[in-house]
């Protein structure tokens, strides 16, 4: 939990170097089936309900992103909004993919975004991410892509948290084969 007092310097040498932080993979868990453990602003363990899985979403190239934005109400209350956006190529749209669109539209999720840097960030831990948009679009020409665009959103009371190496191992072990 935040102590609301800055307690360390943030210097250029702390963050110096190449950085490629675009989202390259997304992992979704049904919110009621995942229990992440947190210590010191890091997800340190992930436990799944018996028989539950984490689902790997491979987004269309350069289509995935996340935001973690501070919100302030007129009365001065503060909270954060987690948003995960991604597109899925829908070239092979069939009854199974139609079910996925329904599931993404109506479900409640915790998400982990894998960044190109190799870091993993969890969103929707304390409140579930839910779809604010789930759209299927067809291409106007052969050179355009058909896609499913999804936006998942949650209002929460914590920043998006990084995963420890142990939590990453647990995450990947729980991915449905």
Show the tokens assigned to 162.
């990084």
Do the domain assignments include residue 2?
no
For the chain, the domain total comes to: 1
pLDDT tens digit string along 83-105? Answer: 999 998 877 678 888 898 999 99
Least confident among 1-10, 48-57, 75-84:
1-10
Taking only Cα atoms into account, the Rg of the chain, rounded to an integer number of angstroms, comes to 17
Give the CATH number for residue 73.
2.30.110
Mean pLDDT (the chain, rounded): 89
Residue ranges making up the domain that contains 49: 20-173
pLDDT tens digit string along 108-164? Answer: 999 999 999 899 999 999 999 999 999 888 766 665 557 889 999 999 999 999 999
Residue 66: strand pairing partners: 84
Do the domain assignments include residue 111?
yes
Do the domain assignments include residue 50?
yes
């Amino acid at each position: 939990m935040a102590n609301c007092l800055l307690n360390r310097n943030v210097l250029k040498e702390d963050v110096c170097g190449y950085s490629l932080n675009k989202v390259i993979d997304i992992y979704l868990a049904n919110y009621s089936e995942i229990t992440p453990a947190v210590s010191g602003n890091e997800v340190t363990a992930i436990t799944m309900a018996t028989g539950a899985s984490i689902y790997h979403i491979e987004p269309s190239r350069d289509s995935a992103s996340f935001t973690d934005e501070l919100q302030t109400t007129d009365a001065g209350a503060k909270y954060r909004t987690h948003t995960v956006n991604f597109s899925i190529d829908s070239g092979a749209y069939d009854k199974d993919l139609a079910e996925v669109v329904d599931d993404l539209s109506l479900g409640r999720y915790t998400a982990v975004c894998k960044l190109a840097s190799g870091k993993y960030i969890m969103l929707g831990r304390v409140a579930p991410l839910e779809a604010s948009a789930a759209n299927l679009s067809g291409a106007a020409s052969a050179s355009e892509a058909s896609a499913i665009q999804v936006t998942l959103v949650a209002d929460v009371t914590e920043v998006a948290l990084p995963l420890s190496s142990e939590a990453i191992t647990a995450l990947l072990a729980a991915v449905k084969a």
